[in-house]
A and B are shown apart, each in its own frame.
Chain A
Amino acid sequence: MVEFLSFREGDAAQEPAVTVESFTGQSNSTAVRIEAGEDARELLPYLDRLSLVEVNFPVYGDGRGYSAARILREAGYEGELRAVGDVLVDQLVAMRRCGFDTFRPDKALDDAAVERALNRYADVYQKTVDGRRPVWAKRHPERVNG
Chain B
Amino acid sequence: MYRYDSYDQSIVDARVEEFRDQTQRRLAGQLTEDQFKPLRLMNGLYLQLHAYMLRVAIPYGTLSGRQMRKLGEIAAKYDRGYGHFTTRQNLQYNWIKLADAPDILAELATVEMHAIQTSGNCIRNISSDQYAGVSADEVTDPRPWAELLRQWSTFHPEFTYLPRKFKIAVIASEEDRSAMRLHDIGLKLVSRDGRIGAEVYAGGGMGRTPMVAPQIRDFVPEDEIVSYLEACLRVYNRYGRRDNKYKARIKILVHELGVEEYKRQVEEEYAHMRELGLNPPTEELDRIRPFFANPAYEAGLSDDLDRSDPAFALWVDRQIAAHKQPGYAIVNISLKPKGGIPGDASAEQIALVADLAETYSFDELRVTHAQNLVLPHVKKADLHAIWQKLDEAGLAEANLDLITDIIACPGLDYCSLANARSIPLAQKLSERFASAERQKDLGELKVKISGCINACGHHHAGHIGVLGVDRKGVENFQLSLGGSGAEDASVGQITGPGFSEDGVVDAIEKVTNLYVAQRQEGERFLDTYRRLGMKPFKEAIYG
Interface residues of A (CB under 8 A from B): 36, 39, 60-64, 66-67, 70, 74, 90, 93-95, 97-98, 116, 120-128, 134-136, 138-140, 143-144
Contact = CB atoms under 8 A, between A and B. Distances in A.
Nearest to A124: B155
Interface string B141-161: 000000000011011111111
Contacts of B38: 60-61, 90
A74 B242 contact: no
B283 interface: yes
6 contacts: A66-B160, A98-B158, A121-B155, A139-B7, A140-B287, A143-B281
A interface, over-half SS? loop
A66 B157 CA distance: 8
Contacts of A116: 21
Nearest to B8: A135
A68 to B, nearest CB: 8
B350 to A, nearest CB: 30
Contacts of A62: 161, 242
A97 B157 contact: yes
A90 B161 contact: no
A90 to B, nearest CB: 6
Contacts of B121: 61, 63
B interface, over-half SS? helix
Contacts, number: 95
A144 B277 CA distance: 10
B154 to A, nearest CB: 5
B18 interface: yes
Interface of B: 5, 7-8, 10-11, 14, 17-18, 21-22, 38-39, 121, 151-152, 154-162, 234, 237-238, 242, 272, 276-278, 280-281, 283-284, 287
A140 B281 CA distance: 8
Contact of B11 (A36, A97, A123): A123
A66 B237 contact: yes
Given A138-B7, A140-B281, A125 B152 contact: yes
A84 to B, nearest CB: 16
B281 to A, nearest CB: 5
Given A64-B238, A136-B281, A125 B161 contact: no
B283 A143 contact: yes
Contacts of B237: 63-64, 66-67
B161 A61 contact: yes
B5 A139 contact: yes
Contacts of A64: 237-238, 242
A94 B157 contact: yes
Looking at B7, B8, B287, the one whose CB has the most chain A CB atoms below 10 A away is: B7
A122 B237 CA distance: 27
A127 B7 contact: no
B151 A63 contact: no
A14 B337 CA distance: 69
Contacts of A143: 281, 283
Given A63-B162, A125-B156, 14 more contacts: A61-B38, A63-B121, A70-B158, A90-B38, A93-B157, A97-B157, A120-B17, A120-B18, A127-B277, A134-B280, A135-B11, A136-B280, A136-B281, A143-B281
Given A125-B151, A127-B278, A140 B283 contact: yes
Given A66-B157, A138-B7, A139-B287, A126 B278 contact: yes
A70 B237 CA distance: 12
B247 to A, nearest CB: 15
Contacts of A60: 38, 161
Contact of B7 (A63, A90, A97, A123): A123
Contacts of B283: 139-140, 143
A63 B14 CA distance: 23
B159 A63 contact: yes
B39 A98 contact: no
B511 to A, nearest CB: 43
A123 B10 contact: yes
Nearest to B280: A136
A128 B284 contact: no
Looking at B7, B155, B157, the one whose CB has the most chain A CB atoms below 10 A away is: B157
A64 B238 CA distance: 5
A9 B53 CA distance: 46
Contacts of B272: 74
Given A60-B38, A67-B237, A139-B287, A98 B278 contact: no
B234 A121 contact: no
Looking at A36, A97, A126, A128, the one whose CB has the most chain B CB atoms below 10 A away is: A126
Given A116-B21, A126-B152, A121 B161 contact: no
Given A64-B238, A128-B158, A144-B281, A121 B14 contact: yes
